[in-house]
Structures are given as structure tokens and as C-alpha cells.
Amino acid sequence: MVEPARLSLNTATVRERWTLRQCIEGCARHGIGGISPWRDMLAACGVAEAARLIQDHGLTVTGLCRGGMFPAATASGFQRNLDDNRRAIDEAAAIGARCLVLVVGGLPEGSKSLAGARAQVREGIAAVLDHARRAGIPLAIEPLHPMYAGDRSCVTSLAEANDLCDALGPGVGIALDVYHVWWDAALAREIVRAGRERLLAFHVCDWLVPTRDLLFDRGMMGDGVIDIPLIRRMVEAVGYDGLIEVEIFSRDHWWKEDPDEVLRTLIARARTSI
């Protein structure tokens, strides 16, 4: 059983109906302990105003979504991506985020080289890492399901994320989302390898069968086939004691529901399905 105070709301879960201000107020109203804003919603609210609202409502910022998207077809494009990540780091610091979540990016336009994309990801993280260290913002690599390798993330397993952490050193960790890693036969071993120090964020939702849309058909916890309690026990066994972030992309279901009802539902499911 997970109580509301240990939950964090990723604002993507209710983004179609609520502003960031409404998300913050909703979390406080329902007793949810944390929030993880997306940068477009943060920009619409204003960074300084968002920081004030978050502090006034006593919320923990479990992460800022998102940095990354490093690979580019040109040197100038790559530099723009680095500059954007430095801005994201500054925004994360301004709102007191515990990490900046990195969705690292897929193939650059016109490319079929995954190796090349992965090299750019490593180079990109290394290039902004000193800035992140000075700002006190850990960079949390989020491995995505292999179906996103082409356009969203060429880092498709926890093992690859651990390898990057090994290569890049302090200041780089992992955001572990059950939606993206539940299928991995090496998951238990790689969670142990990551350990408490690297596990910066833990995201939950569910995998529906059948899945009608590869991006926008995530399920509420308990509605799909992921053994979420098992994975939670794995991360807690290595010392993870942070908030549990609910992130649901659901264009045809949950995004259409009243956000207060969505929050009531995810609180109920946290008590039975996390």
C-alpha cells in the first residue's frame, strides 16, 4: 500500500485539462506529496511563479521533464540542443527539482546509425554535466522501451543507462519508468547494479493489452500487465525511498476525465496496485 503523501504527480497525467497552477493546487488538495512538471507547462506558468507556488504548497519536485534530445544532423543543431539542456538545468534548479529527466533522443534526421546517435548522447551529456554539477541538479537518464529507439531514445534498456553512468561518473543517474523496462529479463540484475545512488526517480503506470497507441495509451496502475509491486520491491530493496511518480499518457481515456477524479483514482490504485 502506498499512501498519497508518497506519490508525485507527473503533470503529463492531467495536462489536457489542467494548467501547472491547477496541478499544484490539485496535489495539495488531494494530499499528494510531489509534482514533476513538464517544461512547456512550466514556461506557461513562469519559472519564478511556479517555484513560489510549489514552495507555498509544500510539494517536493521529483523531477523536471525533460532534457535530452541530444542527437542532431548538424553541428549547429547539436549546439542548440546543448544550449537547451543548459536552460533546462537552470529551470530545474530554480524550482528545486531533485533531477532533470533526460529523454536522450533517437536518430537524427536522415540517419540510420544508432551507434552514431548513442555517441552523440554520450557526448551531449558529458558536455552539459559540469553545468549540472555546478547547479546541483543530477541528470537522470530515462531508458525508453525499444519501440522509441528511432525518434525518442536510443537508450532502450537499464543496462545501457548503467553503462552511461559508469562512463560519465558522478552527477548522472537513472529515472526508472516501469512502462519502459518491465519486459527486460535483466531488470532485477540491473536494478541491483544501479543501486540507491543512481536511482533518482521511479515512475509508474501500466501496459495495456492490447495497446492501441505506442505513445498515448498508457494505463492506470492495475489495468494492465505490469507487476508494479514486484518492481517497487526491487527498487526499495536497493534503498530507493523517494516518491513514486505517476506518469500516464492516455489521450483517449484519462486525459478526457475530470482531473480531480483522475487523482482520486490514482490514489486508490496506489493503495492496491503499487
230-258 pLDDT per residue, tens? 999 999 999 999 999 999 999 999 999 99
pLDDT band for position 51 (50/70/90)?
A: very high
Whether this model's pTM surpasses 0.95: yes
In whole angstroms, give the CA distance from residue 254 to residue 220.
8
Per residue in 262-272, pLDDT (tens digit) is 999 999 999 99
Where in the sequence is the domain holding 207, given as residue range(s)? Answer: 4-273
E-only strand ranges, the chain: 7-10, 34-36, 60-61, 64-68, 100-103, 139-141, 172-177, 199-204, 244-246
The percent of residues above 90 in pLDDT, for the chain, comes to 100
The 10s digit of each residue's pLDDT in 99-133 is 999 999 999 999 999 999 999 999 999 999 999 99
The whole-angstrom separation of Cα 29 and Cα 89 is 29
Q: How confident is the model at residue 220 (pLDDT cuts 50, 70, 90)?
A: very high
Q: What is the DSSP letter of 157?
A: S
Q: How confident is the model at residue 164 (pLDDT cuts 50, 70, 90)?
A: very high
Q: Does the bond joining 66 to the residue before it have cis omega, within 30 degrees of 0?
A: yes
Place of cell 558536455: 127
Domain count, the chain: 1
Indicate the burial class of 256 (C-beta count within 10 angstroms; 0-12, 13-18, 19 or more): exposed
130: left (phi over 0), alpha (psi -120 to 50) or beta: alpha
Q: How confident is the model at residue 60 (pLDDT cuts 50, 70, 90)?
A: very high
The grid cell for 196 is 540507491
Domain of 221: which CATH number?
Answer: 3.20.20.150
pLDDT, residue 255, reads 98
